[in-house]
Chains A and B, each alone.
Chain A
């Protein structure tokens, strides 16, 4: 459960304050599928970074699963990200020298999970994204779609409650993009709260709840009936 109350975020750019977020109030219940759309500079990425505890609001409060996380220190935020939040990025952000499996193991390695358990859980996660056969390949031996699927496995392997995706299909062709969206939606169907930031109207339009941002504020919100048709058919 995400509760934002009067959240603002001000950056200093060239000594001048820039309001990236101006008083966001947002409640996202568990299991929600939310898309955040809007043009570049509308504040949607800043919002995602705040939700993912990579950034702190300038003012306002952020409650995650009932706990006020606004004033947590860096260590506590790290712990929160480790256990509650999974990230999927447009650029995949795979560590190039590690295999797909090594990348999926990475969060567990730094969390102190023993090697055998790590290996077992990474394999299970890769199996669930359909990459069991490719897990010993390095990122440069994988296609973009495969990399993003491995990244999703990495995002969920610690069992988070919140999955944040920033333009997850932005670097993919429509076929692999469709596979990635299907995977993310499957994770959501399994109970994870899914927040997708995109300026792709087709992708954003698939979410049950959609908000549109402009100039750091939510300007439009609508709800759609869940669709069951695959993405490729929608395009």
Chain B
């Protein structure tokens, strides 16, 4: 028998009971569409989080003072940690091999006043190197001036939201901003960035690090950020940085270095698991659709018992009958699969159009997997009805009323 004729015969049989075929096709379509939509959701979330981390820099070391070590059992008393000083930051900048940018960070909070308007702002004392390190873009003006970290003029760069709230959106360059008791000259405005890993960069004021240390009367830095040349250097860079600081701190290892790697890795694992869980839930609906197909095919076989008897009488073999019904089931489910892929991708785009900030991305394997799975659903759930058809006794089948 020719393949084309086989498909023609199966297709004609499906058109013979159009409503029933359409409904079971719809079942598969819903199953496949939900697999695609739900995995898109999970994958979108994963890509979003990964993107956030990459924006921060996957080759970043964050050095904080003190040794945060959680050990079970006895807490060994350590000598009070030394401060992380500007000199430490400078040493890292000059002597750490592979360091591309090093930026000290002294954090505090202050009341900002511009004209009659006041509000509380986060103040970050840092250096010019913070800009390329955190990939900060400016809306206007310039960033903190390059130069020695231990002195600094009273200049500041403000977040986009502060321009709107304290200066009512007008150009603040050259104007005065009072932070606590000190007057600073606004020299730049950062582009809107939004919340990036817990800090809203739109609501902070950046000042030279020496000014922040003085203002908040700090003895040491809050942290030092180190950007390495590449992601691959992160482990060796971390070891070298620890060694360097240990040497400077009289042999005590009293700093903690955090990398984004570990965090990113666990987020990735959690979210990949989430995607798999969502796919599993969607797969349940696909298997329900498969049972729908089985049901339709069983009804079809019992309805067409006499036809099967006739086919056998005119010399159609049992394997041919089996094949004809399997092809019928596979056609039904793969048509449903195609509709489902269309609906799923369409739905993804629709959600994207309605809620642009909602991350959705069908994983690359979703569409081919949906097609293969839906076709196998037809073959697996069509097997039982097809076998039943192939095994019918022609004499009994023909005699059926």
Instruction: Tell me if A98 counts as interface (CB < 8 A to partner B).
Output: yes
* Minimal beta-carbon separation of B245 from chain A (angstroms): 82
Contact in complex: A110, B1 (CB < 8 Å):
yes
Number of interface residues of A (CB under 8 A): 32
Point out the residues of chain A lying under 8 angstroms from B313, CB to CB: 52, 54, 81, 87, 93
Least distance between A117 CB and chain B CB atoms (Å) = 12
B316 close to A110 (CB less than 8 A): yes
Given contacts A93-B309, A95-B310, contact A78 B317 (CB under 8 A): yes
**How many Å lie between the Cα of A82 and that of B313 in the bound state?**
8
A91–B311 Cα distance when bound, in Å, is 15
Cross-chain contact B315 with A107 (CB below 8 angstroms): yes
Q: Is the CB of B12 within 8 A of A97?
A: yes
Chain A residues lying within 8 Å of B394, measured Cβ to Cβ, are 54
Quick one: which of A62-115 are within 8 Å of B by CB? 74-75, 78-83, 85, 87, 89, 91, 93, 95-98, 106-107, 109-112, 114-115
CA distance A31 to B389 in the complex (A): 35
B residues near A, CB below 8 A?
1-2, 5, 9, 12-13, 15-16, 306-307, 309-320, 394-395, 398
From A74, which residue of chain B is reached at the shortest CB distance?
Answer: B318
Q: Are A75 and B1 interface neighbours, CB within 8 A?
A: no
Q: Is the CB of B1 within 8 A of A109?
A: yes
15 contacts between A and B (CB under 8 A): A54-B312, A54-B313, A80-B315, A85-B315, A97-B15, A97-B16, A98-B12, A107-B316, A109-B5, A110-B320, A112-B2, A114-B2, A115-B5, A155-B314, A158-B315
B58 CB to nearest A CB, Å: 61
Instruction: List 9 other contacts, CB 8 Å, given A93-B307, A110-B320.
Output: A49-B395, A74-B318, A75-B317, A75-B319, A78-B316, A106-B314, A110-B5, A155-B314, A158-B314
- Distance in Å from the Cβ of A168 to the closest Cβ of chain B? 14
B314 near A82 (CB under 8 angstroms)?
yes
A87–B9 Cα gap in the complex (Å)? 21
CA of A79 to CA of B315, assembled, Å:
6
A111:B1 contact, CB within 8 angstroms:
yes
Known contacts A55-B395, A93-B309, A93-B310, A111 near B315 by CB under 8 Å: yes
A218 to B306, CA, bound (A): 30
User: Within the assembled complex, what's the spacing in Å between the Cα atoms of A96 and B17?
Assistant: 11
A74 to B13, alpha carbons, bound, how many Å?
25
Q: Is there a chain B Cβ closer than 8 Å to A147's Cβ?
A: no
Q: A191-209 CB contact bits vs B (8 Å, 1 = yes)? A: 0000000000000000000
A106: contacting residue among B2, B311, B398, CB under 8 A: B311
Contact among A109, A114, A154 for B9, CB-based, below 8 A: A109
Instruction: Report which of B15, B307, B309, B314 forms a contact with A110, defined as CB distance below 8 A.
Output: B314
Q: How far is the CA of A154 from the CA of B13 in the complex (A)?
A: 19
Known: A54-B394, A97-B16, A112-B2. A78 touches B312 (CB 8 A): yes
Q: Are B314 and A74 interface neighbours, CB within 8 A?
A: no
Chain B residues lying within 8 Å of A154, measured Cβ to Cβ, are 314
Establish whether residues B395 and A110, one from each chain, have CB atoms under 8 Å apart when the complex forms.
Answer: no
Instruction: State in angstroms the CA–CA spacing of A109 and B310 once bound together.
Output: 14
Q: How far is the CB of B318 from chain A (nearest CB, A)?
A: 6
Return chain B residues, CB-CB under 8 Å to A95.
307, 310
Of residues B16, B307, B394, which shows the largest number of chain A Cβ atoms within 10 Å of its Cβ? B394
Q: How far is the CA of A111 from the CA of B394 in the complex (A)?
A: 18
Query: For residue A82, which residues in chain B have a CB less than 8 angstroms away from its CB?
Result: 314-316
- A223, chain B: closest CB distance, angstroms: 29
* Distance between Cα atoms of A229 and B13 in the complex (Å): 44
Tell me the bound Cα distance from A52 to B310 in angstroms: 12
Residues of B close to A83: CB separation below 8 A: 315
Flag A134-158 by CB within 8 Å of B: 1 or 0 each.
0000000000000000000011001
Contact A87 B314, beta carbon cutoff 8 Å: yes
A216 to B13, CA, bound (A): 39
Please indicate the chain B residues that have their CB under 8 angstroms from the CB of A110 in the complex: 1, 5, 311, 314-316, 320
Q: Which residues of B contact A54 (CB under 8 A)?
A: 312-313, 394-395, 398
Contacts of B9 in A (CB 8 A): 109
Q: Which residues of B contact A49 (CB under 8 A)?
A: 395
Nearest chain-A residue to B324 (Cβ)?
A: A110
Closest to B321 in A: A110
Q: How far is the CB of B393 from chain A (nearest CB, A)?
A: 8
* A residues near B318, Cβ cutoff 8 Å: 74-75, 78
Bound CA span A111–B310, Å: 14
A114→B311 CA distance, assembly (Å): 18
Q: How far is the CA of A155 from the CA of B316 in the complex (A)?
A: 13
A34: min CB distance to chain B, Å: 19
- Give a binary string over A149-182; 1 marks a CB under 8 Å from any B CB, 0 the rest: 0000011001000000000000000000000000
B168 CB to closest chain A CB (Å) equals 76
Q: Min CB distance, B154 to chain A, in Å?
A: 89
Q: Which of B5, B313, B314, B398 has the most CB of A within 10 A?
A: B314
Shortest CB-to-CB span from A122 to chain B, Å, is 13
- Per a CB cutoff under 8 Å, which of A81, A96, A97 touches B314? A81
Which residue of chain B is the closest to A91 with respect to CB atoms?
B306
Closest to B314 in A: A107
Q: How far is the CB of B13 from chain A (nearest CB, A)?
A: 7
Contact of A93 among B15, B315, B317, B398 (CB under 8 A): B398
Give Cα A98 to B9, complex, Å: 10
A74 touches B317 (CB 8 A): yes
Min C-beta distance of B188 to chain A, whole Å: 77
- Return B16 CB to nearest CB of chain A, in Å: 4
